[in-house]
Amino acid sequence: MLAGCLQFKPEFCDVNANISKIRGLLKDKKFDLMVMPELANSGYLFSTVDELKKASEEIPGGPFCSALIEIAAAFDAYIVSGICERAGDSYYNSSILVSPDGKIELYRKTHLFYDEKKWFSPGDTGFDVYEINSPDFGRVKLGIMVCFDWIFPESARTLALKGAQIICHPSNLVLQYCQKAMFTRAVENRVFTITANRTGTDSNGGKELRFTGESVIVDPKGNYLFRGSDSGDECAIVNIDPALALDKHATELNDVFLDRRTELYSL
């Protein structure tokens, strides 16, 4: 199965520019699953509700969603992307899974980071696992978490216990640790992880944030299949065998799920 990630700098409040950038990076590529950064339609650093209102869209029906539906159909592929969602008077830092037939699944970020708490409602979807399917790669279970969800091991663990073989991880990382931590999330759950991070600096309302790039794809044994640059655009595609994530053995005598001692844990 050909799985990959896109790394780029979303233009703030400019959905058409972001759609064009995505189309450009994907041109002539072949893939089954592509993961894109958090808030890929909108950019990240908001300073007013008006900006948030302008940059967000309802799901489905908005321009970014519609473009991803078109792209998924054209490439006969699945796409996971971060999206700034408007739902009535609420805003969510969301991600969608778009299928080649236009079906959409929605995840709303559970653990909001820092100033995101000023703008977004905390996600209410919980962590679900979705089956994707094709004659080329068969049935594969996929989960989604967004950026700061990584620091709560419960996020990846919940997805893995529900059967996710691949954890898709749209991100806008600003701290130093996540790209290293995803090695652990992959190994402790014996899953593939695909972290699609953004690059560049956003400045707005007297604040500035630099995003760290270095998107990573890790396999269930902790091998880094891809490590991106810290500032360039990237379209990485790797060939993976999702069946590897069905084997939960860390050694011949240790199955990381069956060996759990849940009677001794209080969480």
Nearer to ligand ACM, 205 or 222 (CB): 205
Selected catalytic residue, list 109, 116, 178, 235: 109
Chain residues 62-91 in contact with ligand ACM, contact rule CB under 6 A: none
Selected catalytic residue, list 38, 85, 105, 234: 38
3-state secondary structure the chain: CEEEEEECCCCCCCHHHHHHHHHHHHCCCCCCEEECCCCCCCCCCCCCHHHHHHHCECCCCCHHHHHHHHHHHHHCCEEEEEEEEEECCEEEEEEEEECCCCCEEEEECCCCCCCHHHHCCCCCCCCCEEEEEECCCEEEEEEECCHHHHHCHHHHHHHHHCCCCEEEEECCCCCCCHHHHHHHHHHHHCCEEEEECCCCEEEECCEEEECCCCCEEECCCCCEEEECCCCCCEEEEEECCHHHHHCCEEECCEECCCCCCHHHCCC
Nearer to ligand ACM, 92 or 113 (CB): 113
Chain residues 161-190 in contact with ligand ACM, contact rule CB under 6 A: 172-174
Residue 174 Cβ vs ligand ACM, minimum distance, rounded to whole Å: 5
Residue 208 Cβ vs ligand ACM, minimum distance, rounded to whole Å: 15
58 is catalytic: no
Selected catalytic residue, list 84, 147, 168, 178: 147
Query: Is 113 among the residues that bind ligand ACM (CB under 6 A)?
Result: yes
Catalytically annotated residues: 38, 109, 147
Query: Which residues are near ligand ACM by CB under 6 A?
Result: 38, 113, 147-148, 172-174
